Structure formats: structure tokens, C-alpha cells
A = this chain, B = another copy of it.
Amino acid sequence: MPDNSQIHPFNQAVELVPTSPYTYQGHIPESYANMVGPFGGIIVAVILNGILSHKERQGNPISLTVNFAGPIADAPYDLAVRLMRTNRSNQHWIAELTQGSQVAATATAVLAIRQETWMMSEARAPDAPRPEEIESWPAPPVPQWIHRYDFKFIRGELTLSDQLAKDSESLLWVRDTPERMLDFLSLAAISDVFFPRVFIRRQQLGVASTVSITTHFHADYSSLERQANRPILAFARGQRFHRGYFDQVAELWSDEGDLLASSIQMVYFKD
């Protein structure tokens, strides 16, 4: 059975304690540690949690941008959210995550109450074998956050062969581990679940860190409920690696072929 209770590591990691009407405090546990600071996706989820759990929140996420301004220490952080405007069917938020006097992340979000309209899925899910047919990736011991997910690579695995790959694409099935019902927070986190595209293209490790990630949500509540705790088909590719920065385009698909979210990020790297 899916475990969606408070004791799931994801729920622990995104937990926030209100400290005023528009501020929270939290502390990302070691279980989501990356090489330097926590996994970026959990920071994205924490910020979205501060907005979605606010009593003035109206609607569900349409767009979320998080800019990573500096490393986050293994210590408590403060999250401030500001409601900028509420319209009839949408809402605009800003957020800042700080440690001491330093801003660690800034964010903006748009929430909306969706209406019934003409619908069309133009993009098509990549061809992929079913997740049951693929072995789980035997993840190395560190970083810790990779053990919070079950990765099943179809292509574009990190081999560290030191041979230039023909492209920077990865296609994989991914879900939380232990299993957990998909929600907007975990979907937002999974949009950052890909290894830096420069590592995949060059098949070598290096220095790389996301400076900005934007996720656009097509999923509504019923999409999340349908997907439940089953793996998501996740695709990522880099478009251009140019003088210290590359972009990473990502698509997250339901196992029924619906585009749940699309995401794009800019990543700092050095040789």
C-alpha cells in the first residue's frame, strides 16, 4: 500500500512550522542531502508547500519558478511567502528562502482554478517499455537523495565512461521510495530529479548546479489521483552548453501517456 503518512521521508523533508502569518521555519533532513546542500527538488517542494499550505491559497499550481541563489546549510531555514494578487481565477505569489541574513532561494508561483475548455495533447510520450520490464538502478551510496527515488533507466544512464555520448538525453521511470501517492509537491520535486545533462553528455562528473528551474503543471487533482503511486516517465535533454551554463528541458509523463508537467532549467557548470 502507498505510504502517504507524515512519516514518509518526503513529508518529513517538506514539513514547515508557521512562525508568523506569512513565514515558516523548516530544516531539510540529511535523507535528501546532495553533494553540497540538499537536493534542489526538495527545495522546490518546500517552497511550493509554503504557498499551497497557506490559508489564503486559492487554486492549484500552474507555474513555479525557483532561483537558487546560494548553498543551503544543514541548519534551519526561514521561508517567507507573499500573496501579490488574487484574481477571480488565479493567484500570484512570491517566496524567499533565507538562512540568517543570506537569501538562499527566490521563487514566484501562479496558482489557478481551472475551467473546462477545449483540450488537446499535442506532444506524445516517448516510447518506453513498461516499468515492470526494467531493473531498478543500483544507486551508489551517495548522495543520499538518490535513495529517495526508484530510478529505472531506459536510456541516458550515468556510466562515467568518460566517452562523449551522442546526446544528453535520458529517459527513465521514476517514483518516490518508499512508494507515495503523487501530489503537486512530489511532482514539483521530480521535475528536478535528473542528473546534470553535462554529466550525461560527457559521461564524467564535474561541478554543476541549477541556478533557475521553472515547472509548468498540466496535472490537476484528478490526474494526480489517476497516477497514484505508480512510476512517472521522465525525459530530459540539454539544448546548448555555452560558456558556463546549459539548459535542461524536461517532461514528466503519466504511465497512461498524459503530460503531467514540463520543466526547463538553467544550470551553471565548470570543467
Contact = CB atoms under 8 A, between A and B. Distances in A.
23 contacts: A62-B212, A62-B245, A67-B92, A69-B84, A69-B85, A69-B87, A84-B103, A89-B268, A107-B108, A110-B266, A112-B211, A118-B202, A118-B241, A119-B241, A120-B201, A120-B240, A120-B241, A121-B241, A214-B264, A216-B266, A218-B239, A218-B245, A218-B247
* Listed residue (A102, A110, A245, A270) with the most chain B CB atoms within 10 angstroms of its CB: A245
A242 B218 contact: yes
A60 to B, nearest CB: 10
A112 B268 contact: yes
Contacts of A243: 114-117, 119, 220
How many copies of the polypeptide does the oligomer hold? Answer: 2
Contact of A67 (B63, B103, B271): B63
A73 B65 CA distance: 26
Nearest to A270: B117
A77 interface: no
B123 A102 contact: no
A258 B239 CA distance: 11
Interface residues of A, number: 63
Given A70-B85, A108-B65, A270 B115 contact: yes
A175 to B, nearest CB: 21
A67 B64 CA distance: 10
Interface of A is mostly: strand
- Indicate the member of A63, A198, A202, A237 with the most B CB atoms within 10 Å: A63
A131 interface: no
Contact of A269 (B70, B117, B167): B117
Interface string A144-159: 0000000000000000
